[in-house]
């Protein structure tokens, strides 16, 4: 129990005194609140492991406070105390987020056991999740999939850093999985029970960024009608992802640097410093080292962030990951769209591996989703793939691949069919448009569609 933080919310000073006297001896850090309102204000200020909550409070019922407590600190272990305990209230309290339930007069030994058990249970739950995520398959880490040497390196780095609290900088092109890596660092580490807060440094207007990060006091500026808790405070006890960090202004960089160094900041319009315990993960698709050289990114901040770097290579540099990822996404979307798909045809898999994927894994995921929607067989076929994936050379390559014994006319037929399907799909199934693009007459188009037995309706939309 040493160093665990406890908040007692009870209007009876005697109860507070007794609890404090007993639990402080075990090295717990204890705060008191005499009403619901004061209790919630404390929870805004400070992160706790436990809340001991009285049922009858001057301004509210303890049970009604539970959702507010959970919202502020999802990981906190809330224990209800009451002299009027009925079973119904107990069940209701647990339903609303209480971890356990207690009747007064409080027996301290029993309370100690309940608290120790709650901590242990929370620890085991986290451990179990971690083992499950690791044990099943070495070609994945949390939700990240990959078996290329590059991704195995990433997994091994992640395996080492999740347990520690070190700041991690995740680099990679758009769509390579940076956010997924940040989520894995959070969910596989010791802070899994705490909050995971994402902050996109680009999406927020510069003028609001500071208040978004650090919060503001009521009346700090025009429009600040209420006190607002910033992202750093929300992330207390958990992890914050500073996304697109390379696009942050130099001014904001200076402020972030201070939080990284001191784990302390002030709300906008506030005087008292706020302390937080937050793990930081930063991500960007920019070349930060280059930005440092050009003076666009602070060197000192770069060194603070760059404690551990995870480099996600572009998908085109690790094609061995493509079939695995494609199968994974195929199953995901087959479930979602109610399709009976069992696999990906070899020619289609080849086409996926040959494409250069400028949008990386995100683009692959979208392409597979579209293919699943098109598909009406047991396997995803080359025909199901979006046309941009089947770039000219791939069209020819896939056509040529099927059967080396084929005659030239046979092969030409196949290539013609491929090009017709491709163009028709791009034209939304409108034969006149496709004919114009290919420089043939509508009549000729109609004949070819008939000859190749192309189902134009399927290519619409």
Ligand X SMILES: Nc1ncnc2c1ncn2[C@@H]1O[C@H](COP(=O)(O)OP(=O)(O)OP(=O)(O)O)[C@@H](O)[C@H]1O
Residues engaged in binding Mg ion (CB under 5 A): 178-179
Residue number with the shortest CB distance to ligand X? 177
- Tell me which of ligand X, Mg ion, none is bound by residue 285, counting a contact when its beta carbon lies within the kind-specific cut-off of 5 to 8 angstroms: ligand X
Residue number with CB closer to ligand X (146 or 195) = 146
Residue number with CB closer to ligand X (175 or 215) = 175
Nearest distance in Å: CB 197, ligand X: 15
- Tell me which of Mg ion, ligand X, none is bound by residue 176, counting a contact when its beta carbon lies within the kind-specific cut-off of 5 to 8 angstroms: ligand X
Nearest distance in Å: CB 386, ligand X: 16
Nearest distance in Å: CB 284, Mg ion: 9
What residues contact residue 329 under an 8 Å CB cut-off, 6+ apart? 364, 365, 368, 369
Nearest distance in Å: CB 247, Mg ion: 12
CA-nearest of 360, 353, 345 to 313 is 360
| CA separation for the pair 228, 64 (Å, rounded) | 22
| CA separation for the pair 447, 441 (Å, rounded) | 10
Nearest distance in Å: CB 302, Mg ion: 19
- In which element (H, E) is residue 95 found? helix 87-95
- Tell me which of Mg ion, ligand X, none is bound by residue 169, counting a contact when its beta carbon lies within the kind-specific cut-off of 5 to 8 angstroms: none
Residue number with CB closer to ligand X (180 or 396) = 180
Q: Which residue do the tokens 């919630």 mark?
A: 40
Residue number with CB closer to Mg ion (195 or 246) = 246
What residues contact residue 234 under an 8 Å CB cut-off, 6+ apart? 195, 197
Following CA atoms 443, 447, 449, 450 in sequence, which dihedral angle do they give, to the nearest 10 degrees? 140
Are 283 and 178 within 8 A, CB to CB? yes
Nearest distance in Å: CB 283, ligand X: 6
Residue number with CB closer to Mg ion (201 or 349) = 201
- Tell me which of Mg ion, ligand X, none is bound by residue 177, counting a contact when its beta carbon lies within the kind-specific cut-off of 5 to 8 angstroms: ligand X
The radius of gyration of the chain from alpha carbons, rounded to an integer in Å, stands at 29
Nearest distance in Å: CB 244, Mg ion: 7
Are 7 and 50 within 8 A, CB to CB? yes
Nearest distance in Å: CB 311, ligand X: 12
Residue number with CB closer to Mg ion (15 or 144) = 144
Rule CB under 6 A: which residues touch ligand X? 144-146, 172, 174-180, 285, 325, 361-362, 365
| Residue 82 DSSP label | E
Nearest distance in Å: CB 366, Mg ion: 15
Residue number with CB closer to Mg ion (173 or 179) = 179
Nearest distance in Å: CB 139, ligand X: 10
Query: DSSP letter string over 369-398?
Result: HHHHHH--SSEE-GGGS-TTTS-HHHHHHH
Residue number with CB closer to ligand X (316 or 365) = 365
Are 362 and 175 within 8 A, CB to CB? yes
Query: DSSP letter string over 239-253?
Result: EEEEETGGGS-HHHH
Residue number with CB closer to ligand X (42 or 285) = 285
Count of residues for the chain? 461
| CA separation for the pair 102, 52 (Å, rounded) | 9
- Tell me which of Mg ion, ligand X, none is bound by residue 146, counting a contact when its beta carbon lies within the kind-specific cut-off of 5 to 8 angstroms: ligand X
Are 235 and 197 within 8 A, CB to CB? yes
Q: Is the dihedral of CA 183, 304, 127, 199 positive or negative?
A: negative
Three-state DSSP state, 277: coil
- Tell me which of Mg ion, ligand X, none is bound by residue 362, counting a contact when its beta carbon lies within the kind-specific cut-off of 5 to 8 angstroms: ligand X
Are 410 and 418 within 8 A, CB to CB? no
Residue number with CB closer to Mg ion (170 or 192) = 170
Nearest distance in Å: CB 198, Mg ion: 9
- Tell me which of ligand X, Mg ion, none is bound by residue 363, counting a contact when its beta carbon lies within the kind-specific cut-off of 5 to 8 angstroms: none
- Tell me which of ligand X, Mg ion, none is bound by residue 56, counting a contact when its beta carbon lies within the kind-specific cut-off of 5 to 8 angstroms: none
| CA separation for the pair 199, 189 (Å, rounded) | 20
- Tell me which of Mg ion, ligand X, none is bound by residue 361, counting a contact when its beta carbon lies within the kind-specific cut-off of 5 to 8 angstroms: ligand X
> Cis peptide leading into 105, omega within 30 of 0?
yes
| CA separation for the pair 19, 81 (Å, rounded) | 12
Residue number with CB closer to ligand X (285 or 423) = 285
């Amino acid at each position: 129990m040493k160093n665990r933080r406890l908040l007692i919310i009870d209007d009876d000073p005697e109860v507070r005194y007794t609890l404090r006297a007993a639990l402080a001896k075990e090295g717990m850090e204890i705060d008191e609140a005499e009403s619901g309102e004061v209790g919630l204000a404390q929870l805004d200020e400070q992160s706790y492991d436990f809340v001991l909550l009285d049922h009858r409070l001057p301004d509210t019922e303890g049970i009604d406070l539970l959702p507010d407590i959970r919202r502020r600190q999802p990981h906190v272990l809330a224990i209800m105390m009451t002299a009027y305990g009925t079973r119904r209230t107990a069940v209701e309290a647990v339903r609303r987020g209480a971890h356990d339930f207690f009747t007064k007069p409080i027996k301290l030994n029993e309370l100690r056991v309940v608290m120790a058990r709650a901590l242990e249970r929370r620890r085991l739950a986290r451990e179990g999740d971690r083992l499950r995520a690791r044990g099943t398959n070495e070609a994945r880490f949390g939700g990240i999939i990959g078996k290329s040497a590059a991704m195995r390196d990433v997994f091994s780095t992640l395996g080492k850093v999740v347990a520690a609290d070190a700041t991690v900088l995740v680099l990679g092109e758009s769509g390579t999985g940076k956010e997924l890596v940040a989520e894995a660092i959070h969910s596989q580490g010791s802070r899994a029970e705490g909050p995971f807060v994402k902050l996109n440094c680009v999406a927020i207007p510069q003028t609001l960024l500071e208040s978004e990060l650090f919060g503001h006091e009521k009346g700090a500026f025009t429009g600040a009608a209420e006190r607002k808790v910033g992202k750093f405070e929300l992330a207390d006890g958990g992890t914050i992802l500073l996304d697109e960090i390379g696009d942050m202004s130099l001014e904001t960089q200076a402020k972030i640097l201070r939080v990284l160094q001191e784990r302390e900041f002030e709300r906008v319009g506030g005087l008292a410093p706020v302390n937080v315990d937050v793990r930081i993960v930063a991500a960007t698709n920019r070349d930060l080292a280059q930005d440092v050289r050009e003076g666009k990114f602070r060197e000192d901040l770069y060194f603070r962030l760059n404690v551990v770097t995870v480099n996600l290579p572009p998908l085109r540099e690790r094609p061995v990951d493509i079939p695995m990822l494609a199968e994974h996404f195929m199953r995901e979307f087959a479930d979602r769209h109610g399709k009976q798909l069992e696999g990906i045809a070899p020619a289609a898999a080849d086409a996926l591996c040959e494409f250069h994927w400028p949008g990386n894994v995100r683009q692959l995921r979208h392409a597979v989703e579209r293919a699943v929607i098109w598909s009406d067989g047991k396997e995803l076929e080359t025909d199901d793939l979006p046309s941009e994936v089947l770039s000219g050379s791939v069209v020819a390559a896939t056509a040529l691949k099927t059967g080396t014994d084929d005659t030239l006319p046979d092969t030409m037929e196949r290539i013609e069919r491929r090009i017709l399907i491709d163009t028709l799909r791009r034209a939304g199934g409108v034969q006149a448009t496709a004919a114009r693009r290919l420089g043939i007459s509508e009549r000729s188009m109609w004949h070819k569609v008939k000859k190749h037995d192309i189902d134009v309706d399927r290519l619409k939309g």
